[in-house]
Amino acid sequence: MTFLTIDGLEKSYGKVRALERISLGVAEGEFVTLLGPSGSGKTTLLMSVAGFTEPTAGRILLGDQDITRLDPEDRDFGFVFQGYALFPHLSVADNIAFPLRVRKWPRARIQARVEEMLALVGLEAMARRKPAQLSGGQQQRVALARALSFGPRMMLLDEPLSALDRSLRDSMQQELKRLHRETGVTFLYVTHDQEEAYAMSDRIAVFHRGRLVQSGPPREIYARPANSFVAGFIGGNNLFTARHDPHSGEIDLLGRRLRLGHLDPGLHCADGKVTGWIRPEALRPGPAAPGELELALTLEDISFAGTGDRLFLRSPDGQPLIASQTSGPTGPAFRPGPITCAVHPDDIGFLPARQT
């Protein structure tokens, strides 16, 4: 059952179209992430759902109630802002109590609820502090507790982790997942960080230039990107161009002429050009094992990336490729120059040609 329905939503600023006919459904209790680079429209969509941005056309439904023109204060959504937006003059407890006082809850119930929320985010000891006396991660927890305290119909989160450093981000992701699980509230989450999106979401909606280009579970987005933008944006993919001969069924791929069985014969490629992708971790230096495809490439550079090494390669037809390798403490035993690499045909993907 669809809980939140976004139906043909558009937003224009003068001639600039920030959102183009967005339709998206969110189920009750789902964790949906709007993912895209800055300026892709994901934040505009979130602000429209929150009521801070008035869409030019289209509707937003919650259940069967049309909330498109409802004021933000009447929507009962918990909103978590990028910069936390805590009330600097109020203590942590008073920040969390703010939406409850607005709703005229009785004093005893407010106090009980504030304690419950403080426990939920592990800040019992900080109740009397002012936001300026807290660390970034603690401020973020207060913002979450404040947005959850009044029992919102839905949580809207606008890049809430972007101001935190990396190690804190990882633990806050776990915390957000736990809060989502424990409260059962529907989460609509905006980020430009695909790892964050993978780690937390039930479903990801990828945005590009005001359009919703693909939506689906994280693994599906990762395995089957719908177009070259998604393929490139997700996971630092290697995108390359190949030439396909529809008559012979053969393909010129990174300097080799092959028959590739799983290349969809129904693909439109009138000009014979197709875009393909190989994940950096699927491209492996060394001779091919049975069933694998061997590529003769040139190694141009190696860089250390913490979890492993990144090999900067070039194909005989001049296309750049990256292979990522886990490596031991001594580093990789490769030198710049000709190198043989192997890839399994199943790890080579092709995009529908008309969308590339």
Partner 1 sequence: MSHFQRWALALTLPAGALMLAFYVYPILQVLGLSFSEPTPGLGNYAELVTNPAIRRVLWTTVQVTVPTTLITVTLSYIVALAMVQMAPGRRRLAMFLVLVPFWISVLVRAFAWITVLRRRGIVNSTLQDLGLIHKPLALIYNELGVVIGMVHYMMPFAILLLYANLSDIDQSVIRAARSLGARRWMIFSRVWLPLSLPGLLVAALFVVIFSFGFLVTPALLGAGRVLMVAEYISVQISNTLNWGVATALSTSLLVAVGLLVWLATRHPALRAALEGGRK
Interface contacts to partner 1, rule CB under 8 A: 50, 52, 71-79, 81-83, 85-89, 98-99, 102-103, 146-147, 150, 156
Pick from 18, 22, 17: nearest CA to 68? 22
**Nearer to partner 1 (CB atom), residue 78 or residue 218:** 78
**Nearer to partner 1 (CB atom), residue 99 or residue 280:** 99
**Nearer to partner 1 (CB atom), residue 79 or residue 277:** 79
Going edge to edge, which strands form the sheet with 320-325? 284-285, 337-343, 293-304, 309-314, 320-325
Smallest distance from partner 1 to CB 207, Å: 22
Smallest distance from partner 1 to CB 81, Å: 5
Smallest distance from partner 1 to CB 158, Å: 9
Smallest distance from partner 1 to CB 124, Å: 22
One-letter amino acid at 198 equals Y
Count of CB atoms situated within 10 Å of the CB of 324? 18
Smallest distance from partner 1 to CB 103, Å: 6
Q: What are phi and psi of 265, to 5 degrees?
A: -65, -15
State the sign of the Cα–Cα–Cα–Cα dihedral 174, 175, 179, 185.
Answer: negative
**Nearer to partner 1 (CB atom), residue 47 or residue 239:** 47
**Nearer to partner 1 (CB atom), residue 154 or residue 263:** 154
Smallest distance from partner 1 to CB 94, Å: 10
**Nearer to partner 1 (CB atom), residue 106 or residue 328:** 106
How far, in Å, CA of 159 to CA of 313, rounded?
34
Smallest distance from partner 1 to CB 189, Å: 15
**Nearer to partner 1 (CB atom), residue 89 or residue 259:** 89
Smallest distance from partner 1 to CB 291, Å: 55
**Nearer to partner 1 (CB atom), residue 87 or residue 304:** 87
> Which tokens belong to 255?
């300097």
